[in-house]
Amino acid sequence: MAEPVRVRRLTDQEGQKLQQVVRRGSTSSVRYRRAMMLLASAGGNRVPVIAQLVQADEDTVRDVIHAFNEKDLSCLDPRWAGGRPRQLSDEDEDFVIATATTRPVKLGQPFTRWSLRKLVAYLRKVHGRMIRIGREALRCLLARRGVTFQRTKTWKESPDPDRETKLDRIEHVLDRFPDRVFAFDEFGPLGIRPTTGSGWAEQRRPDRVPATYHRTHGVWYFHGCYSVGDDSLWSVNRRKKGAVNTLAALKSIRTARPDGAPIYVILDNLSAHKGTDTRRWAKKHKVELCFTPTYASWANPIEAHFGPLQQFTIANSNHPNHAVQTRALHAYLRWRNANARHHDVLAAERKERARIRSEKGIRWGGRPALAA
């Protein structure tokens, strides 16, 4: 049986970039949808779930995943264009891009960044190679290859010494026990204020929301629970994060599988998730807490589902209070769960996974079943 199509393990920078694109949503629809596909796959979601999430064909999802595994994040911007033959070879273009993304100081130049004029001059006299290109052609080449002029950023590298071990465990439970895997995370803060978004409107007559100056409602937090096997999402809105609210969410997850067999919950390293009472309860009720590495919350399967939640319920809204906002969120979740994958698809997948476990002699908990 062929292995399921899935993105390779993301680096911290790649995971954070995909999270940024999905959560902000302020980019092209092609880039947004492709980023959502990759983030969902990195979180352990299978191709049918991702196709339903982004309303795309399953083959399209597979093509995007394969493209990422080959070309990294450059696959977010496909090159769909024609025109006259290029004057530079692929090797020359690669050299130009490599030079443009290298600090000039490392190449013996007395400045900290390139300008188009300086880069053109350098390319024409670099030792062993002469590349004649104009400033406008260079600007177009850089834009086409995804190199833009932007502010220097900092990255949070994961300092977690157990990073690989945690990621291996998450991948293991997602592959072996998808029907027993759940994800939990908080989303927020959710304030009561008009929020800009996007939508269809007559040309030059955009839909408008009023401005606000006084915000007296405080903030709440969305506590979301996601069942990987059932592809269902539910939540409770709370005034704050905390160990008590985390434990309440875990109890609701345990209720979803009342058979007493082990379940696995993927969540991040927030201190509210690691309380003594929470760990004691989880051990007693056979709930294994699979923590994502520090600064690697992209590995949580629920992350990809927060993007549509924000875009279709928070963006372009003007809720008068938290009660109305909560009802809107729950109404969206009911719609989302009702329009998830068809039940016969889920049943077929469960049957296939049960057959594979039976052939391999595996029972819940990961231990081989005893021979009859």
Q: Residue 264 has what pLDDT? A: 92
What is the average pLDDT value for the chain, to the nearest integer? 81
Judged against a pLDDT cut of 50, whether residue 370 lies above it is answered with: no
Q: Helix (H, G, I), strand (E, B), or coil: what is residue 114?
A: coil
Q: In terms of C-beta density within 10 A (0-12 exposed, 13-18 middle, 19 or more buried), how is residue 85 classed?
A: exposed
The model's pLDDT over 127-151, given as tens digits with 9 standing for 90+, comes to 677 788 888 888 888 888 888 888 8
Q: What percent of the chain has pLDDT over 70?
A: 87
Q: Residue 363 has what pLDDT? A: 43
Q: Which amino acid is at 302?
A: I
Q: Residue 2 has what pLDDT? A: 65
Q: Residue 362 has what pLDDT? A: 45
Judged against a pLDDT cut of 80, whether residue 13 lies above it is answered with: yes
Q: Which amino acid is at 161?
A: P
Sign of the C-alpha dihedral, residues 167, 171, 174, 176?
Answer: negative
Of 223, 231, 222, 241, the residue nearest 182 (C-alpha): 231
Of 5, 94, 84, the residue nearest 41 (C-alpha): 5
More confident residue, 86 or 226: 226
Q: How far apart are CA 283 and CA 280, in angstroms?
A: 5
Q: How far apart are CA 340 and CA 352, in angstroms?
A: 19
Pairing, β 219-227 against β 263-267: unpaired
Q: Would you place residue 367 in the very low, low, confident or very high pLDDT band (cuts 50, 70, 90)?
A: very low
The token pair at 47 is 């191709």
Q: Residue 350 has what pLDDT? A: 58
Judged against a pLDDT cut of 80, whether residue 259 lies above it is answered with: yes
Pairing, β 263-267 against β 181-191: parallel
Overall average pLDDT of the 175-189 stretch: 86
The model's pLDDT over 20-33, given as tens digits with 9 standing for 90+, comes to 888 887 677 888 88
